[in-house]
Amino acid sequence: MKATIDFDDALYRRLKVEAARRGRTIRDLVAEGVRQVLGQPVGHEGDAREAPAEWFGSLHEYAGNARGHDLGAIRRSIARGRRAARG
């Protein structure tokens, strides 16, 4: 079933970043949140990680390290990943 939901712009941007960080869709995250509110188990489909969004490009390997949704947090995540890659 389809539904239309109006989100505050800032909340939607955070949701979009989080979905990309997890390599999932906004639809998946919203459905997972609704299941949690209703007390239903998320199940394996909610835990499965899909391939990162195509626009994430070569930076997808750093997405899991992000500790926030602002540009500064994303930059720090990339820097941590690059340092770890260099060993």
Do residues 28 and 46 touch, judged by C-beta distance below 8 A? yes
Q: What is the reported pLDDT for 84?
A: 75
- Contact residues for 64 (Cβ-Cβ < 8 A; gap 6+): 21, 22
- CA angle, corner 55, sides to 52 and 58, nearest 5? 70
**What is the rounded average pLDDT of the residues 38-45?**
66
Q: What is the reported pLDDT for 46?
A: 44
Residues across the chain: 87
Confidence (pTM) = 0.47
Do residues 49 and 22 touch, judged by C-beta distance below 8 A? yes
